Structure 1
């Protein structure tokens, strides 16, 4: 039996020049945001762990809790919205409301009506009920994409939208109907807009570095020259006395309702999103780093702040390795993180692009990437062309490209061997090379070819040697895994056929069990002694599971295209 233990955080998806809209649920103390094709719910009491909704088939863009806390509405780049239960993840309602990106959405205070806005050729927004999808208004008055929407949280309900046309449109309702536009307050794109919780104030922020305060009827009251760069996001404190802004000048600022700047919090990069979450400010940097800041306001209106950061992957994970009690993970953007428990920090070994392999080389981390380099401690070996796969055992490492096998000892070249259509490699006392045509060739660790194994029927995508080096698990592009005995040069079993797509990774527990992950999103565990039996966990990672490693106490850790690590307990029979 394979049982989930916990899921790591993934960083919010970010794009330069685009606001990130965060949402906070005070009932559960959770923040919601979009990443890859998922929505992550992060509890501020355990900010390194997350829960994951995987109901979208297009990259997600925004998610908002209903005021009741019973539902979440999320949108994606294809114009789809889904309303779902944040406990069971059951979908209550789903619809395609446009043909472009959903930039923002918001609920009314009754948790009954939703306004979603974005980019589209037919319309820039839609007002609908959360359960039946009935239309409850019309979004009009804009001449360009709409970036944000706010609904007044107390009666009588009002709404406001802002967009790239530097215009704020004010609506009355429900049903929500156009009331008036406010122009010339901003001179550039307006990125965000928000009503205060008491409904008395409205504030908009934009690329012109200004924040504009309005009264509850949408009439401008004050313009604040707030930042030295574009302002992407704004959020109100629950008592409606202060609001926070996030900007491209690397700061988050807090203002009172008179427009007075109370304090400035500096960061090392653009801040593209912020939400006031109880006694904390949660902000998002351009690289997706989440900053959690504990904030209290005393009688002098000064703020005290204790800051902590949550670092995680923003892009799909492509490789995982365990080393000296820690976990290392690499992603398609070249970043490598070092995990102590469920808390990550950046590794010095990062590359500039896709991480092909991470492996334990004599107690140190060896990494190979599409920047055509192998790194081990302070040693950098130039591969010369794009690597396909790599592996290490002891002080030895093997790397294959399309036409070459590289064998290294402590990061220094031992031998280069010409090969044909290389696609996978494993190393122990021998080196096994797999090809796109399914051929399996065995070499000595000094590069001399020794023999060929019976070929696979499809391209070799992953090879793994057992702890004693005698057994080879060879994964195919079709999802099949063939077990070989190198001492007899024969097939032990060809019955490990339960994956339905490309094998992405295999890891051995001793000489008896393997754990495998695949593009089919599933995890399987097979036994050498009982090859017809298996343990499985289906749909482990949306869009594909990419990496797996055994941990102590019969646990495994997996990485996936959803940019998260997941820990699992395994009950071996």
Structure 2
């Protein structure tokens, strides 16, 4: 009995309007890194589907930077902690930890010897600190600012220099080592978001909310020129800049929905890339970027990555996905599963092919505007429910929502669809019955309890309704009418998840105290009541296609796969997701026991399980 993690479909980076995000690449140009939630993600630049995750932080992460050697990563969080850890081994062994300032770490910079770092951000006594990699002892003072420092960069040649950019509209210049304040540069008129030394150390550039980009001498800090006086310049604030490897060009990303490449010597715009993939224009603001080798990547406010082709001035590739907690999951009969998230986005994911297994395609059309609470799919149809108190219908083939929108009258919590496409929706006040055209044909009015979840049998004859009173009501369904035929009463907590067995008269029931009962739906008595290893609320249950196994997910962060024929046999996937597992399903069209899980960390993971 064992499991292996087959894939991690990493989320997009966490973004906040008005703030830049930091992307960084390893020295070999093979991988790039960013943060989301309490995790740091490392993805392959050529094939972003290859991803690893670091979960050592206890607070929300804010920035991660590779060391020049490539062997270590320094990552910061909103509590002011910087953790330095190994990138080579899967265990990501912690090398050192320091809390240089009292607030959020906005940026980190390494020197070229991988021996010294500067961490900057929000603080009470100071906004930055320079320290040694090994001993954590101070290697200078970062002063000269009166507000939060947004960005820091260290010259990679001796003599070392450092520059910082701040919300006080200034850039500070330092010599080192030890790092000492030299002067303040006051060319910007609004927040300064980004500052970067060129790879050869001859220049550094700064960019800010005033839309201006300035070029300075890398050794003296003297201003050389303002690039943003050129034609076709940005018309809004610039969030991020990145140098080309040969130090002759600069990539900038702006709130005007564009990224531009600048010729530093000629002080002209060479390429302009317009990013307009998001339906909401604000989401197209470009808030982060990197330039490593032939890879030019810019990140939108939505979190979407755009790979830029400087030869054609076009986007060569886009990487989309979730950036907020994934709250709903459904597996279609084809090679696709669907996920819905806290921000209302729904995506379809391909699996089964090494070439396209991580393709995330957004379900377009008039979708939800807030948290998706449930998804269900059958044949070519997708049905979703959300906290906007609506059900929406989508086409799987077109990956698009249709114009069919049904109001539920109150918050829907679950969706279940039978083989003939009869749909049952549980809401806070009632249970709604719809036919294959999503026309309402029945309703459980004034149930006398608060429904929490509902499931319909595959033959559409029975509806099971879980309540917040620890009971499951069993109803016979005929012509849209529900008739109570019995109750399942052995659970000790609120009913949170149900799963109908695909062949037998069995129902798996999960509750708020982490217990799972399997009931015989004819006798109404439990046949399995030993699955009690979750420590918190069960969020999801699903039977395998053969019916021999049940998978469960919980807010205790764990996933369990249970054997029905031998209830004492189980496979435990501990810490499957950071904070909580929100949904689990068995994948179809796979020869082995393959489980997909989604969680509060906005990640999607696929597991192979063997008994």
Match of residue 237, structure 2, among 213, 216, 230? 230
Deviation of 1:348 after TM superposition, in Å, equals: 3.0
CA contact (8 A) 1:361 1:396 kept: no
CA distance in 1, matches of 2:610, 2:533: 19
Q: How does 1:165-314 map to 2 (within 5 A)?
A: 165-183=168-186, 185-216=187-218, 217-225=220-228, 226-258=233-265, 259-268=267-276, 269-295=284-310, 307-314=316-323
Q: How does 1:25-174 map to 2 (within 5 A)?
A: 25-27=26-28, 29-88=30-89, 89-174=92-177
Match of residue 353, structure 1, among 350, 357, 370? 370
Deviation of 1:85 after TM superposition, in Å, equals: 1.0
Is 1:365 aligned to 2:365, yes or no? no
CA contact (8 A) 2:273 2:313 kept: no
Deviation of 1:10 after TM superposition, in Å, equals: 1.0
Partner of 1:499: 534
CA distance in 2, matches of 1:306, 1:248: 17
CA contact (8 A) 1:279 1:295 kept: no
CA distance in 2, matches of 1:307, 1:178: 43
CA distance in 2, matches of 1:150, 1:17: 21
Deviation of 1:363 after TM superposition, in Å, equals: 4.2
Is 1:549 aligned to 2:585, yes or no? yes
CA contact (8 A) 1:192 1:234 kept: yes
Deviation of 1:469 after TM superposition, in Å, equals: 5.7
CA distance in 1, matches of 2:315, 2:27: 20
For the residue of structure 2 that corresponds to 1:415, the secondary structure is strand
For the residue of structure 1 that corresponds to 2:227, the secondary structure is strand
Q: How does 1:372-387 map to 2 (within 5 A)?
A: 372-377=389-394, 378=402, 379-387=404-412
Deviation by residue 1:254-274 (Cα, 9 ceiling, x = unmatched): 112222211111111111111
Match of residue 462, structure 1, among 469, 487, 497? 497
Is 1:421 aligned to 2:450, yes or no? yes
Partner of 1:300: none
Match of residue 558, structure 1, among 597, 600, 603? 597
Q: May I ask how many residue pairs the two structures share in their alignment?
A: 565
CA distance in 2, matches of 1:463, 1:131: 52
CA contact (8 A) 2:39 2:54 kept: yes
Deviation of 1:541 after TM superposition, in Å, equals: 0.7
- The CA RMSD measured in Å over matched residues stands at 1.4
Partner of 1:515: 551
Partner of 2:348: 338
CA distance in 1, matches of 2:314, 2:463: 55
CA contact (8 A) 1:360 1:393 kept: no
Deviation of 1:561 after TM superposition, in Å, equals: 1.1
CA distance in 1, matches of 2:79, 2:439: 49
What TM-score do the two structures reach when normalised by structure 1? Answer: 0.96
Deviation of 1:361 after TM superposition, in Å, equals: 4.1
CA contact (8 A) 2:271 2:313 kept: no
Deviation of 1:132 after TM superposition, in Å, equals: 2.4
The farther-off stretch of 467-476 and 513-522 is: 467-476
What TM-score do the two structures reach when normalised by structure 2? Answer: 0.90
Deviation by residue 1:377-424 (Cα, 9 ceiling, x = unmatched): 443221011122222222112112222111212211121113212112
For the residue of structure 2 that corresponds to 1:334, the secondary structure is coil
Deviation of 1:203 after TM superposition, in Å, equals: 0.2
The farther-off stretch of 522-531 and 398-407 is: 398-407
CA contact (8 A) 2:425 2:433 kept: yes
Deviation of 1:549 after TM superposition, in Å, equals: 1.3
Deviation by residue 1:281-324 (Cα, 9 ceiling, x = unmatched): 1110110001122446xxxxxx6655100011110111111112
Deviation by residue 1:517-569 (Cα, 9 ceiling, x = unmatched): 11111110111110111011111111111111112222111111111111111
Match of residue 521, structure 2, among 483, 486, 490? 486
CA contact (8 A) 1:465 1:508 kept: yes
Deviation of 1:28 after TM superposition, in Å, equals: 5.5
Partner of 1:437: 469
CA contact (8 A) 1:4 1:566 kept: yes
For the residue of structure 1 that corresponds to 2:413, the secondary structure is strand
Deviation of 1:362 after TM superposition, in Å, equals: 5.3
CA distance in 2, matches of 1:534, 1:73: 38
Deviation by residue 1:440-460 (Cα, 9 ceiling, x = unmatched): 101122312111112410111
Deviation of 1:332 after TM superposition, in Å, equals: 0.9
Mark the CA change 1:401 to 1:306 in structure 2 (over 3 Å): closer, same or farther.
closer
Is 1:391 aligned to 2:416, yes or no? yes
Is 1:325 aligned to 2:338, yes or no? no
CA contact (8 A) 1:440 1:455 kept: no
Partner of 1:403: 429
CA distance in 2, matches of 1:455, 1:439: 8
CA contact (8 A) 2:211 2:234 kept: yes
For the residue of structure 1 that corresponds to 2:169, the secondary structure is coil
Partner of 2:510: 475
CA distance in 1, matches of 2:199, 2:166: 22
Deviation of 1:9 after TM superposition, in Å, equals: 2.5
For the residue of structure 1 that corresponds to 2:119, the secondary structure is strand
* Structure 2 unmatched runs, 5+: 277-283, 351-356, 395-401
